[in-house]
Amino acid sequence: MNTAHRPRRLAATLLAATLAGVGLTVAVAPAAHAAASDAVVKLPFSSYSAIAVDSVHQRVFVADSNTDYYLNKGTIVAYNFQGERLTTIQTPAHVSGLALSADNTKLYAGLREYIQTYDTTTFEPAFLAYTNTDTCGRELAFSGDQLYFTTPYSQYVGECNNAQTYLDGIVNGVHTRTGWNDYGKLKLEAGPDDRMLMGQPHNDYAANPFLAVYDTSNGSLVRNAVRRFADSAGNGALDLKDMAFSADGSKVAVADANYGTRLLNTDDLSDAANGYQPLPVGATASSVAFSGDGKYMARGAAATGSTPDLLLQPADPTDSTAPLEFVFEGSLDGDRVAPRGMEWSADGSRLFAVTTNAVGSQYWLHIIQPPAVQYDTRFTGGLTHSPAPAVAGEPLAVRGRLELDGPAPGTPLKVTATRTDATGTHDLGAATVKEDGTFAVLDEPDLVGDATYTVSFLGDLTHRPATDIVHMVSVAKAPTSIALTAPAQATLDGVRITGTFTAQGKALPDRAVLKVVRTDKLGTGTLSSVSVAADGTFTIDDIPRARREVTYTVSWPGDDLHEASEAVVAVYVTR
């Protein structure tokens, strides 16, 4: 398990334990310090179709797909909630799609030409009903006390994405066609209050795929809300990877590979008033799942490198608590969350996530336990800044300390900061909190006057947000200086003065032009101005008009970000 790039997740020493009698290697983060523990199981197949979670008996069932040849058999593996393998079921034909009965006593499995059931405690099989032949892989959903499933058919496996797919059901033990059908490998998702989702993946026959909500009560199947997402120009079409109902059924989350995470109102599938923040740049949505207790939302993605593949966050999109982020990268983790690859236990205590490698030939099961409690945080001691005074156009560090209750985080926390000045509020990004709680926000103010720095800690799944802390800084103009070098004596034939002009802070938009004033016994007069070279140097050549002491005053008036400066030099002029 690669934890080096796991923001807000404990970087843990892995405990590799071979569980007796099952030949299963599990990697576990030490619970004493973990923000969320993660056990990882390597799945014993090279394809994937479905996951189902039996919270009554604490069983997790994962099925392969293996649909590339009609004589292939299938595999269903059962684990307990600790990741120990309980049994491996080989089905007589390829398996795709899993669903559980309402009381979790039966596991339904979609086979090539029939639906098989298994007892969830003894794992004994029982035949349920013959179906039409499925050559591409089924979806199953148990809703309204009835089993629904899809039956896609294509003569060639390579054309399955464009297959004609029928929505079927088992009524009184008999396979029944509902009459609903369309192109593509239609997806199903059961929800509370006898509702079911059906979604259409993008395919050659559906430039503008749909999402629909069905009422499954009273043994009927009535379509309610439906939505297609493309605009009049054909842009914004749905690229469906997964969908899920919220715990109370009022919302629908959609993993859209084009858009990210959509949050919709179930009644009419309109956009919810508040949506989730965008996925990290470089992450493509692949899976969504709400916890059964209504607290959490899990958003899976396909990403590379250190970009998070999984965000675990509050289900309420208005809750600004920072998500717990997981990066899956390598042979112990997989590389991304598989489409339709996540399910929660009913009480929200565990998330089960299936990951895969980039080519989709290996699979892993992650068993993630979110923290049971959150701890308080606070900023202590106020904020300070350096250097003092602050200067426009020069680096500034605003420093403070964040105090945490509870266990130390496994990876550094981050605070965010803004600067508010006369031109508005500016985001300064994130600063890392060190082990001793200290942090430094770096900035380069570009405006003279008062600037207000606000530092925030949004919390994570282990720590509650802290009350913002504010610090006022008076930003001054940057100093400038003029240095002159002149001979102590000169003659009436001429005098040469050299100098250097220096400006701190932000670079001047143009080269400085200096004013030169000469004072002698005949009075004071202004000479020709002199321009400063790119390296800051300049030269003044003058023909004195009188003997004795002649004073030269060189000055620059300053600008909006820089102070004025002046230098004086005296030369004794002889004949």
3-state secondary structure of 157: helix
Number of compact structural domains in the chain: 3
pLDDT in the model for residue 179 = 94
Structural domain including 425 reads 377-475
CATH number for the domain that contains residue 403: 2.60.40.10
Cis peptide before 387 (omega within 30 of 0): yes
Tell me, yes or no, whether 269 and 345 share the same domain: yes
CATH number for the domain that contains residue 100: 2.130.10.10
pLDDT in the model for residue 320 = 83
Total-model pTM = 0.70
Tell me, yes or no, whether 552 and 463 share the same domain: no
Q: Give CA–CA dist 354/367, Å, rounded.
A: 9
Q: Is residue 5 part of a domain?
A: no
pLDDT in the model for residue 13 = 25
> Do residues 216 and 169 lie in contact, with contact meaning Cβ atoms separated by under 8 Å?
no
Q: Is residue 334 part of a domain?
A: yes
Tell me, yes or no, whether 488 and 458 share the same domain: no
pLDDT in the model for residue 25 = 33
What are the average pLDDT values for consecutive 10-residue runs of the chain, which has 575 residues? 32 27 32 54 96 97 92 95 96 95 97 95 92 94 96 91 95 87 97 97 96 92 96 95 97 97 98 96 97 94 92 92 86 94 95 96 94 85 94 95 87 92 94 96 95 91 88 96 96 96 91 96 95 96 94 96 96 93
Tell me, yes or no, whether 494 and 423 share the same domain: no
pLDDT in the model for residue 443 = 96
pLDDT in the model for residue 36 = 56
Tell me, yes or no, whether 348 and 410 share the same domain: no
Tell me, yes or no, whether 180 and 302 share the same domain: yes
Tell me, yes or no, whether 341 and 433 share the same domain: no
Q: Is residue 34 part of a domain?
A: yes
Tell me, yes or no, whether 129 and 38 share the same domain: yes
Tell me, yes or no, whether 354 and 384 share the same domain: no
Rounded to whole angstroms, the maximal C-alpha distance in the chain is 125
* Terminal CA-CA length for the chain: 88
Q: Which of 455, 475, 495 is the last residue of a domain?
A: 475
CATH number for the domain that contains residue 543: 2.60.40.730
pLDDT in the model for residue 462 = 80
Report residue 121 CA to chain centroid gap. Answer: 38
Q: Is residue 8 part of a domain?
A: no
CB count within 10 Å of CB 195 equals: 21
Tell me, yes or no, whether 525 and 470 share the same domain: no
Question: Helices (H) and strands (E) in the chain — how many of each?
Answer: 0, 46
pLDDT in the model for residue 37 = 65
